Amino acid sequence: MRALISVSDKTGIVELAKELENLGIEIISTGGTYKKLKEEGVKAIEISEITGFPECLDGRVKTLHPKVHAGLLAIRSNKSHMDQLKELSVDTIDFVFVNLYPFKQTILKDGVTREDAVENIDIGGPTMLRSAAKNYQDVAVVVDPKDYDKVLSELKDNGSVSLDTKFYLMQKVFMHTSNYDTMICDYIRKERNDTELPETLTMTFEKVQDMRYGENPHQKAAFYRQIGKLKGSLADAVQLNGKELSFNNINDTNGALELLKEFEDPTVVACKHGNPCGVGSVAVDGSESAKSGADCAISEEEAILKAWDKAFEADKVSIYGGICVVNRKVTLELAKAMKPVFLEVLVAPEYDKEALELLKEKKNLRILQLADISIPQSKDALDIKKVNGGVIVQTIDSMLYNEDELKVVTKTKPTDAQLADMKFGMRIVKYVKSNAIVVVKNTQSVGIGPGQVNRVWAAKQCMEHAKELINEDALKGAVLASDAFFPFADTVEAAHEAGITAIIQPGGSIRDQESIDKCDEYGIAMVFTGMRHFRH
C-alpha cells in the first residue's frame, strides 16, 4: 500500500508518517513536506521519482500527472482499470493526506498583495483531493489533521479503513474544497469591488460553537462566523464571563449592536427579543446632538453613565433579562448602576478592572468585550433571510436618510432640538420590527411600539407604555418617528392627544395631505424623509 502526503499545515505529519511506515505503507511526498519527512528520518519517495517528471514552475506543477491521478482514480474491482494500470506501469495510491496552500491566512494578512493572494491558490492539492474522494471506496483521503488518529486507529485494529469512514472523509474533502473555492471567489469579488448580486450565490462560514439548542429546546443550533476580517462584529467579541451565548442571545445582541453603531455620542441600547426597549444617548460638548437640548456631560465617563440612566428609565420592566450594549468603557460607577439589574448579556469596548471584577460577581452574566464596537458593517454586506426552498438576499440598510432631502411639510417648523430628536428617533425606529413607532425626547426613547399589524396600534401601544413606564408627562413635547408613511391621519390624532409636538416619517402615501392637514390643525411640526425603513 502507498500513501501520498503533501501538506501545508504540517501539524502531526511526522508522527503520522512514521506510524504509516511502521504499518508497512510506502510514503510518497512533495516539496516542503518531502524535505521535512526526510529530515525526520522518514523513508519518503519524492513525487518526481513516481512521475518521472521534475517539479517545475516554482512548484506550481508537481502532482498534475497521469501516474498520480490514474493511481488514485482506478477502481480496484474494475478489471479493465487494473489492466490499464499494468499496461501503463502505474501503481495504485491507497491513502492521500493533503491540506491546501494557506489562502485564508494569506488574504487575512495586512497589506497582502493580489499577487501573493493568487500565488496561494492551490491547484494540485484540490485536484488530488477530488480524485481521491471520487474513488472513496478504494482510497482513504484525509484533509483534516484531526482525522489522522481515526485512520491510524482503524488501520492498526483492522488492517484497513472502513467504507463508512472513507465516505465520511469524502464528505469532508468536498466541504473543504467548496469552502476553499468560495473564499477565492469572495476575494476576487471584493478585489473587483463587485456589488452586484450574483447569478449563483455561494457563501462559506466556519463553526464557532455548537449550542445547547436553538430558539427552542427541541431545535438544534450552532454559531458560524463569516471568514474574513470582522472588526465590530459579534463574532469577533471576546467573552469574559458567564455561560456560552445561546442562539437567542446572539440574535438579540447582534440587533442591539447594529443599532448602537448608528450613534457616535456615548450611548446605551437595551434590547429584548430582537427589539430595542430602551435607548439613551448623551451629547458631549461640540457634538451635533448637543442641539437636542440635553445637558452636555463634563466627561465621556459621566456621559455614558447618564446614557445608562436614560436607557434604564425608558423601560425598567422590559430590560429585565435583556441585552445591554454600550459604546464607551464601563467604569466602576456604571458597573455599580448596572449590577442590580438582571441582564443576560453585556457588551462594551472596554472595562475598568474594578468594574469587571464587580460585574463578574454575577456568575450568569455573559460579559463580552468588543474593542471595535462602533465600526459599522460594510455597506456591501448582504442581508440574507432563509425561506422554505431558498433565500432572499438584499444589501444592508446602511442609510438613514439624505439630509438635503428632508422636507418640512407643515406650517409649524421643527426647532433644532426637535430635528436632533427626529434623527435620534429615526435611528431607533430603523431597528424596530414593522409596523414600528418610536417616541423620543431629549435623546431618550420614551416609548417603542414594535411589530404591530396596524400602525395606529403601534403608536397607541408605544404611548401607553410611555405613560405607564415613565410618567404621564413623558410624551409632552416629544417627537414621534415612524418607519413608514401614515395611510391615515389617525396616528397624528393619537400623537396630538398624547402631547407630541413633532413627527418624522418617510411620506409617500396618496393620503399624505390628510396627515399634513391634521398636523397643521394641531400645530404639530412634520418632516418627510423620503426613505422608509421596514424591518421584517
Q: How many helices (H) and strands (E) does the chain have?
A: 18, 21
Cα–Cα distance for residue pair 522/497, rounded to 1 Å? 10
Whose grid coordinates read 445547547? Answer: 212
Q: What angle do CA 140, 142, 147 make, to 5 degrees?
A: 110
Grid cell in block for residue 481: 418617528
The candidate with the shortest Cα–Cα distance to 436, out of 383, 486, 483, is 483
**H or E element that contains 251:** helix 247-260
Task: Decide: helix, strand or coil at residue 121.
Answer: coil
* Catalytic residue list contains 134: yes
Residue 283 contacts residue 296 (beta carbons within 8 Å): yes
Residue 266 contacts residue 297 (beta carbons within 8 Å): yes
The two most distant CA atoms of the chain are separated, in Å, by: 97
User: Position 140: which residue type?
Assistant: A
Phi, psi of 240 (to 5 degrees): -105, -15
Of the candidates 134, 150, 172, 360, the residue annotated as catalytic is 134
C-beta neighbour count of 66 within 10 angstroms: 11
Cα–Cα distance for residue pair 503/529, rounded to 1 Å? 11
> Residue 25 burial (CB < 10 Å; 0-12/13-18/19+)?
middle
Phi, psi of 22 (to 5 degrees): -60, -25
The candidate with the shortest Cα–Cα distance to 525, out of 413, 391, 376, is 413
Grid cell in block for residue 69: 491521478
Q: What angle do CA 141, 182, 5 make, to 5 degrees?
A: 25
337 CB contacts (<8 Å, ≥6 apart)?
A: 305, 308, 309, 312
User: Position 245: which residue type?
Assistant: L
Cα–Cα distance for residue pair 445/382, rounded to 1 Å? 29
Cα–Cα distance for residue pair 361/351, rounded to 1 Å? 14
**Which DSSP category does 60 fall into?**
T
Cα–Cα distance for residue pair 433/451, rounded to 1 Å? 5
Of the candidates 81, 190, 273, 336, the residue annotated as catalytic is 273
Cα–Cα distance for residue pair 304/351, rounded to 1 Å? 13
Residue 304 contacts residue 331 (beta carbons within 8 Å): yes
183 CB contacts (<8 Å, ≥6 apart)?
A: 103, 104, 107, 204, 227
Cis peptide before 435 (omega within 30 of 0): yes
Catalytic site positions: 134, 273
